[in-house]
Chains A and B, each alone.
Chain A
Amino acid sequence: DQQVKQNSPSLSVQEGRISILNCDYTNSMFDYFLWYKKYPAEGPTFLISISSIKDKNEDGRFTVFLNKSAKHLSLHIVPSQPGDSAVYFCAAGDSGSARQLTFGSGTQLTVLP
């Protein structure tokens, strides 16, 4: 049973436009969420996180939105740059119990110049 789902395996966006990556979760015990970016042959790099008490967190070009009632979060990248091309993983955690993250299967973002 996949508790964190990224239903789009790939996404292509024109440079300068907005990239929107989506993530759904099923476990209502998750109380924090993170986005990681991964280039080939490298480990996941932490991008941005959000606590369940918030519905939005912004860091530069990256904004994460959380809709708890829909159990849905999204990562917006504006403006998208070719260097943003990577696999993006959504991850969720329950700070009250297990100390490990549950990852989605990732979305390959390609930003076209």
Chain B
Amino acid sequence: AAGVIQSPRHLIKEKRETATLKCYPIPRHDTVYWYQQGPGQDPQFLISFYEKMQSDKGSIPDRFSAQQFSDYHSELNMSSLELGDSALYFCASSFGPTSSYNSPLHFGNGTRLTVT
């Protein structure tokens, strides 16, 4: 079965550079979520989109922005990168405007961002 696809798998950037992470949800899933997992931490919610509109916002820095496109894929744009942005970034998708016990989030394998 098709899963959530994230690209790239690994990304190395220098401080103050920009980065773009991409996420392709499971077919027919219309909601996308972005999570950040720092070393030794649990995944922290950043932002989500339903039908191309932002549906919820978590602890996403102002330096980051994201959008969902007409084909439901999403991109997370990160500018003025800082060392503390080094983390694993997960994208997840689900069907419908709200996640629930019978419409759980399905995660991609993540993008590991290293800022040097």
**Which residues does A use to contact B, with CB under 8 Å?**
32-34, 36, 41-46, 49-51, 89, 93, 95, 98-106
Contact = CB atoms under 8 A, between A and B. Distances in A.
Given A99-B48, A100-B45, A93 B109 contact: no
6 tightest CB-CB pairs across the interface, nearest first?
A43-B107, A32-B101, A100-B45, A49-B101, A103-B42, A51-B101
B110 A43 contact: yes
A81 B98 CA distance: 34
Contact of A95 (B92, B99, B105, B107): B99
B97 A99 contact: yes
A99 B98 contact: yes
Contacts of B55: 99
Nearest to B3: A43
A63 to B, nearest CB: 15
Contact of A99 (B99, B102, B108): B99
B107 to A, nearest CB: 4
Contacts of A51: 100-102
